[in-house]
Chains A and B, each alone.
Chain A
Amino acid sequence: MAQPDTPHTVHPSGDNRFKLLDRAITKHQASGDALIEILHAAQGIFGFLESDLLVYIAQALRLPYSRVYGVATFYHFFRMKPTGEHTFVLCSGTACYVKGSAEIQKAVEHHCNCKFGETTADNAISLISARCVGSCGLAPVAVLDNAVAGKLTPDESLRRIRQWQEERKEEAA
């Protein structure tokens, strides 16, 4: 059987990131069974999964559009919108819950004037709620821009957020 043609070598947009994506697709022999792997790769490269990107993937893997969209929206790890400059990922696991993550959630939502699952209006901070991050011994835990912070308190959370906000102001000034 003939190998499926490799996807376009240069994306019409001229965006070089598609080359990286194509490499991931080729690595999985453009197999539809590898859709989730490809979506992981695409999100890693582009940050989030736009409709156009999903269309590109569907065509490359020869899958129906709705299948690709259905899979991308089934898994909570995949984002269809870009995140803010900073991410505050609060663990909502049981241990964190028992140790008071709800208080942190309340304080942070109040301070940022935005709910978990959303990004602040100025696009500075995305509040994300995670299923257990597996550091239960340190509960309550949050992941602040990819660094895990354990035994967190509402005060400490707000301090870290204010720090981001001040840095941002300074950069703007």
Chain B
Amino acid sequence: MAIITFSIDGEHYSAREDQTILEIAREHKIPIPTLCHLDGLSTVGACRLCLVEIEGSAKLQPACTAKPVEGMVIRTNTDRLKKYRRTIVELLASEGNHQCAVCVVNGHCELQNLAYEVGLDHVRVPYLFPSKRLDATHKDFVIDRNRCVLCTRCVRVCHEVEGAHVWDIGGRGINCEIIGDMNQPWGESESCTSCGKCVRVCPTGALFEKGATVGEMHKERGFLKYIVTARNKQQWIATAHEEE
């Protein structure tokens, strides 16, 4: 595998040519915000938070899918990118019904953290106040679509890791929502194994364990790396302390 050199935010780096910009940035502790991305799952490039500027290219590229080439000049933190990231989080905030003060993941929520990170102090667009369904029919878990950001991590983990494909996306555009089986109550699902992977990968409080009250729901995601590495490389690695 060839090694290439390039620059990120003015510093020179080298990496293998099959690595994505995001992987390299994480290795070198260069902060790039992400939402739909999760190590261990396929990449979809959907949230657009990790967009970076590449010199000589008019189009912004998602760091999670783009790979550097020799001599590439990458910028991850320009004023333009900061402004767009703030607007993306702002749009998300307006899209759902997010009430942090009463949310089970208050204080451990990726959307909340992003809002702090991008400095979202107020929302300029009107809140859409959609009417979204909450489903508490499952014996252990709840899905509250009011808090869903449609990152599709649950869809992917259920399909790619658990292999059950309970979740998918129904509808289109602004009316998209996460659906289970034939859009039926979770408790009646024939395909769900109640493994809880979807709950643990969910970045917000849209999927949570029953019984958790405000701020109580912590999501451990180390399991994903453990399983995926075990499956791909036949190596069972300790991950318990890698979170956060």
Direct contact of A and B (CB under 8 A): yes
**Which residues in A have some Cβ–Cβ distance to B below 8 Å?**
51, 54-55, 64-70, 73-74, 76
- Are B171 and A66 in contact, with the CB atoms below 8 A? no
Question: Contact at A66–B172, with CB atoms within 8 Å?
Answer: no
- Is B67 part of the contact surface with A, judged by Cβ < 8 Å? no
In the A-B complex, the 10 residue pairs with the smallest Cβ-Cβ separation, listed nearest first, are A66-B168, A64-B165, A70-B168, A65-B181, A73-B170, A65-B182, A73-B171, A69-B182, A51-B182, A74-B172
- CB of A4, distance to nearest CB on chain B (Å): 18
Indicate if B44 sits at the interface (CB-CB under 8 A): no
Known A64-B191, A74-B172; contact A69-B181, beta-carbon cutoff 8 A: yes
Q: Is the CB of B182 within 8 A of A54?
A: yes
From A55, A67, A74, give the contact of B165 (CB < 8 A). A67
- Give per-residue flags for B147-180: 1 if the beta carbon is below 8 A from chain A beta carbons, else 0: 0000000000001000011111111100000011
Number of inter-chain CB pairs below 8 Å: 48
Contact assessment for B182 and A74 in the assembled complex, using a CB-CB cutoff below 8 Å: no
Of the residues A66, A73, A76, contact of B181 by C-beta under 8 Å: A66
Question: Measured between alpha carbons, how far is A24 from B33 in the docked complex, in Å?
Answer: 47
Complex Cα gap A46–B157 (Å): 35
- Chain B residues with CB under 8 Å of A76's CB are 172
13 A-B residue pairs with Cβ-Cβ distance under 8 Å, sorted by A, are A51-B182, A55-B182, A64-B191, A65-B181, A65-B190, A65-B191, A66-B170, A66-B179, A66-B180, A66-B181, A70-B169, A73-B183, A74-B171
Which positions in B face A, CB cutoff 8 Å?
159, 164-172, 179-183, 190-191
Residues of A within 8 A of B166 (CB): 64, 66
Check B170–A70 contact: CB distance below 8 A: yes
* A73 surroundings in chain B (CB, below 8 A): 170-172, 179, 183
Which residues of chain B are within 8 angstroms of A66 by Cβ–Cβ distance? 165-168, 170, 179-183, 191
Task: Give the residue among A51, A66, A69, A76 with the most B Cβ atoms within 10 A.
Answer: A66
Q: Which residues of B contact A70 (CB under 8 A)?
A: 168-170, 179
Which residue of B is nearest A64, CB measured?
A: B165
Closest-CB distance, A16 to chain B (whole angstroms): 24
Q: Residues of A contacting B165 with CB < 8 Å? A: 64, 66-67
User: Chain A: which residue is nearest B170 at the CB level?
Assistant: A73
Assuming A66-B179, A70-B169, what are 14 further A-B pairs, CB within 8 angstroms?
A51-B182, A54-B182, A64-B166, A66-B167, A66-B168, A66-B180, A66-B182, A66-B183, A66-B191, A69-B182, A69-B183, A70-B168, A73-B170, A74-B169
